[in-house]
Chains A and B, each alone.
Chain A
Amino acid sequence: MLSYARPIRELIEQLERLPGIGPRSAQRLAFHLLGAGPERAENLAQALQSLHRQIRVCEECGNWSVEALCPVCASDERDRGTLCIVADAKDLVALERAGEYSGLYHVLGGVLSPVEGVGPDELRVAELMDRLERLDVREVILATPPTVEGDATAEFLREILGQFEGLRMTRLALGLPVGADLDYADQVTVARALRGRTEMSD
């Protein structure tokens, strides 16, 4: 069988390793790049190269950053008394987009999962303890995802953060989508919203 010239073949092989890209998509992308001319390919190559050269991990919170400190940690307008713990940097971005939160973050770099060999040592837990020693944090918001692993991670943190006296610990609420009628929400969502119901106050 006639196969593609080596550079094309190599590109297809590289693209295939990306998540969500199968052999057919890889082939289509490769030929698209080939057809779009050298400039397009150069731009992409440049963006790829500068990614790891320029991006590093924020020394404080673990967010992706260009500087030693990410924009959130560097800002003097953030409330340094609250710390929101997220599994991944992309969760941080989601929370930032909501525009509701003005405190600091801590990125764990994943959730506990014995099956995948992820224990506390594989997450940025020691860094978290260190920050809590240094900073004057009043409240920690546990914002790991509402999965079995995310819940267990939050539970684990709740346990070990118990040593910080007077530290308030909260868990991100989960429940009904905003603006949707109760009867349109699926059974599971309604059931979990009921289990996690909150006290009404003035």
Chain B
Amino acid sequence: MYLKTLTLENFRCYEQTRIELPRGLVVVLGPNASGKTTLLEAVYLLATTTSPRSGPARAMVRHGQSWGRVTGVFERDGREVTISVTLGDPSGSRSGSKTVEVDGREVDSLREAIGRVQASLFWVGSLEVVKGSPSERRRFMNEAIGQTSARYLDDLARYRRALRQRNELLRSIRARGGSGSILAPWTRALVDAGVPIIEDRASFVRALAAEAAPMHLRLGAGAEELSVQYDPSVAAGSDLDAEDEFYQRLEETHEREVERGSTQVGPHRDDVILTVDGVDVRRFGSQGQQRTAALALTLAQASVARVRTETEPILLLDDCLSELDPARGAAMLDLSEDREQMIVTSACCPEHLAERLADAHVIDTGGELASCRPCRIPDIEGRNTESHHGP
């Protein structure tokens, strides 16, 4: 799958822009704060209907405007599909709304839009997957598995609801006492939704690990080995399956869960262990090691999605050339040879890569997109965080 044209209307710093893109390697060149990341954000928005940046949908609308829109024409297996996401309402009042259309027909949920277009994004926020809290790695798993399975998203929603209800009940048992019989149905709801989540995560991380290790070797200058391992709160043991194990662990931790008013074990406590040459890269990795690991995970996740959905995700890589040494930078650009489309941003045109970039399609946000006012989005080092985006 690849993106043929991208149209931005009142989106962030863009007023009205239309960009044509070819297959293969696309390089977006421009100085910091010229709207490079915003282009990737727009593609990601079309693929997932959400922005990787946090904040309300209306923050994506160009300052002073009541609505904004991103439209992409994608080609997949020789067929065109047009997806548009409208933020706010061009005709009037609903300023906070978000409308997704596929081939001109409005779809009402992510469930319907899912799987039509896939994209994998590496940007400054991706670092959190490596160095952030366990919740960042759970979110990574949820988004990755959710991209290929609506059933997983349904289980996840049911799990969260069961957890919320169960925790509320635990707090009320703590305050007023009460028997276990009233807790049992919520325990069962939790386990029923939780077990398929555990199984899906285990199989996803297995597939991810198999792709991430060779990818990391390719990006790493030395022979550092990245190991990725699912670290479930509850897992199938040697003599119990995941369901029985889950029930048993809940029973074991019952006293503590009542005391604290929250369920102590389950997929909401999962993590992923990341080591480079045996060292926990989440806590002890250098900045460079963490970046390389995060990039390898993003690329590996794209490969997993490719296998599972038989669709080639579009790779969106934000500012990852500047820090890679010549060999790693070249290795990364070479990836585009067997990928359908890879969109890479860079604030500079590194000399050692000039030759490789000469063959690429270059989008210049400085010249060609002269209508763009400086956007002052946080750049990759997080130096410039002055923001002017909306209320």
Q: Hey, which bits of chain A sit against chain B, CB under 8 A?
A: 112-115, 119-120, 147-149, 151-153, 155-156, 159-160, 186-188, 191-192
Contacts and interface: CB of A to CB of B under 8 A. Distances in A.
B189 interface: yes
A115 B192 CA distance: 20
B151 A148 contact: no
Contacts of A147: 161
Contacts of B111: 186-188
A114 B186 CA distance: 10
B339 interface: no
B151 A159 contact: no
A114 B168 contact: yes
Size class of B's contact patch?
A: 20 to 34
Given A156-B182, A156-B184, A151 B189 contact: yes
Contacts of A115: 164-165, 168
A152 B151 CA distance: 20
B182 A148 contact: no
11 contacts: A112-B185, A115-B164, A119-B182, A148-B161, A148-B165, A152-B165, A187-B149, A187-B150, A188-B151, A188-B154, A191-B154
Nearest to A190: B151
B162 A152 contact: yes
A114 B151 contact: no
Contacts of B169: 114
B150 A152 contact: no
Nearest to A154: B185
B238 to A, nearest CB: 26
Nearest to A188: B154
* Interface SS majority for chain B: helix
B165 A113 contact: yes
A187 B165 CA distance: 26
A152 B168 contact: no
Contacts of B268: none
Contacts of B181: 159-160
Contacts of B189: 148, 151-152, 155
Contact of A153 (B112, B149, B162, B185): B185
Nearest to B157: A148
Residue of B161, B168, B185, B186 contacting most chain A CB atoms (<10 Å): B185
Contacts of A155: 184-185, 188-189
Interface in B142-156: 149-151, 154
A152 B182 contact: no
Interface string B157-199: 0100110111011001000000001101110110011000000
A125 B172 CA distance: 20
Contacts of A114: 165-166, 168-169, 172, 186
Contacts of A148: 158, 161-162, 165, 189, 193
Nearest to A157: B185
Given A186-B150, A188-B154, A191-B151, A149 B165 contact: yes
Contacts of A156: 182, 184-185
Given A152-B186, A159-B181, 12 more contacts: A120-B182, A148-B161, A148-B162, A148-B165, A148-B189, A149-B161, A151-B185, A151-B189, A187-B111, A188-B154, A191-B154, A192-B154
Nearest to A119: B182
State the 10 A-B residue pairs at the shortest beta-carbon distance, nearest first: A155-B185, A152-B185, A114-B168, A114-B169, A191-B151, A187-B150, A156-B185, A148-B161, A188-B154, A115-B168
Interface in B40-86: none
A149 B166 CA distance: 11
Residue among A114, A120, A151, A191 with most chain B CB within 10 A: A114
A28 to B, nearest CB: 15
Nearest to A187: B150
Contacts of B158: 148
B253 to A, nearest CB: 19
A119 B149 CA distance: 34
Contacts of A152: 162, 165, 185-186, 188-189
Contacts of B184: 155-156, 159
A153 B189 CA distance: 10
Interface in B190-247: 192-193
B179 to A, nearest CB: 11
Contacts of A188: 111, 150-151, 154
B192 to A, nearest CB: 8
Contacts of A186: 111-112, 150
B309 to A, nearest CB: 12
Contact of A159 (B168, B172, B185, B192): B185
Interface in B231-283: none
A3 B166 CA distance: 48
B310 to A, nearest CB: 15
Contacts of B172: 114
Interface in B86-136: 111-112
Give the most central of B111, B151, B154, B164: most A CB within 10 Å. B151
A154 to B, nearest CB: 8
A186 B107 CA distance: 14
A191 B192 CA distance: 14
